[in-house]
Structure 1
């Protein structure tokens, strides 16, 4: 376990790094031509210092709050550490937030300045600026904000920044991160420098060996998670504190991400299950198009069995893979698994997954294919991970053990409670919500879960999301939805049935996979309206539903479903920025379709 820090703040790591190892490559940054360029720790320190001087010149003072509205890019990390260098607090805002959401967060946090990425964001802020009396400054990255600030700070002495930086203590507030707001208004989670330092240092100390592709190489990771999300923020901080080369990629879509994985060549990645599903489905489609679907499925089966045998051995329950299984595994490593690894840049051997549950079989496949995915669990309120699978004893399908220094308790009603130095201070301006969430330092997560005999946590659902049928049966939808989504043609699934006679589901399909599936059948792509009535597609989705139902009782099973023409999107207010379903919003938007499931 990493010892809780006694002095200093997050920005110190930038200055210590440059002092200790000035020529080491700290970050990778894309130039205007799309080529990756190295940034040394010394060069990054100089940029942070110059920007921090500019913030002071523009009137930013110790304790002020500065909002960041941007996708994941180099300048966000630069601003974060410059803000912390002057003792100010950053307030991350998702770039897809509506004007009303932006107003609420900036007003609630009494933000004095905003850094936006481009003109659209500037216009969003501009539309509510008359209701933000504290807001004094707005900088736009794509309009030369960094150069403007650096120029303004030219007359400020370096020592002024250092005085501010030395005044920061571990108990100082580092950031206010607003929850995604799946229900109601987002709440501002107040997170200290100490919580982030403990969290990132613990993750580095416990998992550092797996950051490398092979012993002795330099660790590197490509960050494509949103920096407005606590998971992405933890990766940013851990990379700087753990001296891991960090690159940024602004698009979470597979099409934009995959080429950058190949050119940046990370040694490990941190992602959400969606990314691993995309890699897997893409590999399977490619094999099918080449007429090799049979061998690919066989390779998947061998990978799963191989990983399962190693898992059994790690827990003292078996001898490991047999000689025959090892031979088959070796054969498929060259013809299948290597291609899967190459799709992620070729050097990734380990990854961490969070944000939502990962299918156990998918996790086993990747492990068998040479990329061990350590699944973890956490919230904004726990400064990212509260639990994670340990490198030497990974139990697939669970979210692992409490990270060193934290504790997990299951309450009488099945709710997961977390305790540790990574637990937040409370919600900004909201003592009632803080009292509800925190009791004697324990965080009531709102998630339901169970601990197995070895202390591994499995998340079974959300307390607020439990469905109760009119027959009185309680059903947690998350497990069912995850199993339906395991089908390659299914993109999303939402289970409904609250106060209804039985459980039903709305399903959206993965357009790319469906187009490929139709092509393999010798059929032409269909328009969305025709697709939802296609009997063959309905049969495929029915298979997914039947497979999901085998894991639950008849009363909990999905009796009927409907395929929708379009996916749930963030733009339509149906997903949070971290891609979680907004259940109430979806049920309202599709009220007619839901009603039709019961008539």
Structure 2
């Protein structure tokens, strides 16, 4: 399979060459469809290539060139994806940002590279860009917007609609009959494909420029590993600033001719996914958890007969899948039982959530809970785990369908070499590895040594070649007694509980471990309603004794899985969730440990000084930009 992939695609391929191939050889196939006002609008590869070329020509006309950047700001939109491809044709930097990025975060991007233009989704993002432009010495000269609603009266300099940009581009293309081919063949494999950023858990995010060679090599590696095939139907709903979205929705989709389906809005993703029924689906553990919670809530509200059938088939399927994951055989549903279960329970659930055609389903970004993982596999969805990072174009290791274990992330993909150094750090080598952090030679020298990428993750390889990831090397800590532990490893296992959204484990240099918990408002709120537990707000619900009893089993399960010196002794439920706008977590929901420990220093002190409760005044950033506080007395709970 690897050799077939190598023979089909050359290492000298570029985004422009693949776009030309798809337009000429598969021009009538659907490249992208987008839902607008309830209707799916389809664009063929021939039409898509023409629009990308017109966009590239228009951007070049307004001053986009190599060494300059174009900011992409908004939720998933077909035109924003086309804009990223167009920028790649010019050899410039396409720089997507999270839709919720603040002015301060965007100003950091402006300090890295000259951003000459921006492509925005709608009025909200245009307003943000205009504010950014007025607050910065080096302004963004041109702002192109997709959705016109609310922008008709705007007269700011450099503001133009997508349609106007395309008209400018088409006029420029039609001046020279050779310009289309020249644009498609201009960029080289070493030229940039995308300008992303690291998570920024320990400081400002670092710029990560992935070349066209990097992202296309990763796409080939993923195909060779059997992650996806050709002509997949996928849903484009992941944040455009996350490497996982680019790797699948842009690079792999271009190379293997996926049909990319863009939902109408983030709020309609579940409904739109049911209509599309994708063949490939990648989601973070949190998304799989939320879907499971929705299924369970729905079953709780159904008739007694439906609940009986649900538990009759699901309980047996879950038990069989659990035995299989633990290396035991036997106990699976008989063929007739599976057939009836599929007809009555499994099939309707998968159809309701748009999973009836799934051939490949993956989860990544962090560890997934056993209950969630087992549930989907019992349902008949062969959910698998994968491991990757921005610096390696997202695709590193993944589980094969018949080699699934909860504690591993699978074997390295073909084209990716993995080894573990003396300190236990995971090292990678592949064509998909970047060339270094943007304008940060010292950080680059630390990350890339003798051709090997130092991932910063601790882990090990099992005898069968399966990779186990423990957590960040920088987060390996020791108790006062010298016991070694990785907080993130324990935190992820606490989050296996559907009632715990986030956790921060504390204990470095101390005699025992404790934790600060953010409960999941949706899951706990539903549980409270079903069980008659009254509450008026998140801060009120999180401090209820009944809720403490609800999440205590999660601590007990963790304590059974770790050695006695690493047992969690006490915990406190915080009165608000960790929020990226408050700086406590990143946009990808990774904990900013230093910020959290500084902000909740009084809470941490109370966890160790014998206090029965602690008063906390927590900072909250509202959507208006105003700052507020949540004040509450928090009981200190014993595990």
Query: With structure 1 as the length reference, what TM-score do the two structures score?
Result: 0.91
- Name the counterpart of 2:286: 274
- Name the counterpart of 2:576: 566
Distance 1:486 1:325 in 2: 30
- Name the counterpart of 1:100: 104
Aligned residues of 1:65 and 1:112 also touching (Cα < 8 A): yes
Structure 2, unaligned stretches of length 5 or more? 149-159, 610-639
Partner of residue 481 from structure 1, selected from 474, 478, 491 = 491
1:80 shift after superposition: 1.0
1:296 shift after superposition: 4.7
- Name the counterpart of 2:400: 390
- Name the counterpart of 1:145: 161
Partner of residue 359 from structure 1, selected from 352, 369, 376 = 369
Q: Which segment is superposed worse, 372-381 or 257-266?
A: 257-266
| SS of residue matched to 1:257 | helix
- Alpha carbons of 1:276 and 1:324: their partners in 2 closer, same or farther (altered >3 Å)? closer
Q: Deviations over 1:279-318 (max 9, x none)?
A: 1121122222335667655644433343356567xxxx76
Partner of residue 218 from structure 2, selected from 199, 217, 228 = 199
| 1:295-374 paired onto structure 2 within 5 Å | 296=310, 299-308=313-322, 320-322=329-331, 328-345=337-354, 346-374=356-384
| SS of residue matched to 2:556 | helix
Indicate whether 1:40 and 2:56 are aligned: no
1:20 shift after superposition: 0.5
- Name the counterpart of 2:31: 26
1:343 shift after superposition: 3.5
Distance 2:168 2:292 in 1: 49
Distance 1:121 1:529 in 2: 31
Partner of residue 578 from structure 1, selected from 585, 588, 598 = 588
- Name the counterpart of 2:296: 284
| SS of residue matched to 1:597 | helix
- Alpha carbons of 1:303 and 1:323: their partners in 2 closer, same or farther (altered >3 Å)? closer
Aligned residues of 2:476 and 2:485 also touching (Cα < 8 A): yes
Indicate whether 1:65 and 2:69 are aligned: yes
Count of residue correspondences: 585
1:568 shift after superposition: 1.2
Distance 1:293 1:520 in 2: 15
Distance 2:516 2:523 in 1: 18
1:525 shift after superposition: 4.4
- Name the counterpart of 1:433: 443
Q: Which segment is superposed worse, 268-277 or 512-521?
A: 512-521
- Alpha carbons of 1:308 and 1:487: their partners in 2 closer, same or farther (altered >3 Å)? closer
Distance 2:492 2:340 in 1: 31
Partner of residue 399 from structure 1, selected from 409, 414, 418 = 409
1:324 shift after superposition: 5.5
1:245 shift after superposition: 0.9
Aligned residues of 2:34 and 2:41 also touching (Cα < 8 A): yes
Distance 2:310 2:471 in 1: 33
Partner of residue 169 from structure 1, selected from 184, 188, 199 = 188
- Name the counterpart of 2:621: none
Kindly report the root-mean-square deviation, in angstroms, between the aligned alpha carbons of the 2 structures.
Answer: 2.5
| SS of residue matched to 2:361 | strand
- Name the counterpart of 1:531: 541
1:239 shift after superposition: 1.4
Q: Which segment is superposed worse, 325-334 or 534-543?
A: 325-334
Indicate whether 1:264 and 2:276 are aligned: yes
Q: Deviations over 1:215-264 (max 9, x none)?
A: xxx63110211111111000122112211111124866xx6421121122
| 1:542-561 paired onto structure 2 within 5 Å | 542-561=552-571
Q: Deviations over 1:72-92 (max 9, x none)?
A: 221221101111222322122
- Alpha carbons of 1:412 and 1:9: their partners in 2 closer, same or farther (altered >3 Å)? same
Q: Deviations over 1:429-454 (max 9, x none)?
A: 11000000001110111111121111
Q: Which segment is superposed worse, 428-437 or 335-344?
A: 335-344
| 1:176-187 paired onto structure 2 within 5 Å | 176-187=195-206
Could you say which structure has the greater relative contact order, defined with CA pairs below 8 angstroms and 6 or more residues apart?
1
- Name the counterpart of 1:215: none
Distance 1:427 1:262 in 2: 40
Aligned residues of 1:71 and 1:95 also touching (Cα < 8 A): yes
| 1:588-599 paired onto structure 2 within 5 Å | 588-599=598-609
Q: Which segment is superposed worse, 493-502 or 324-333?
A: 324-333
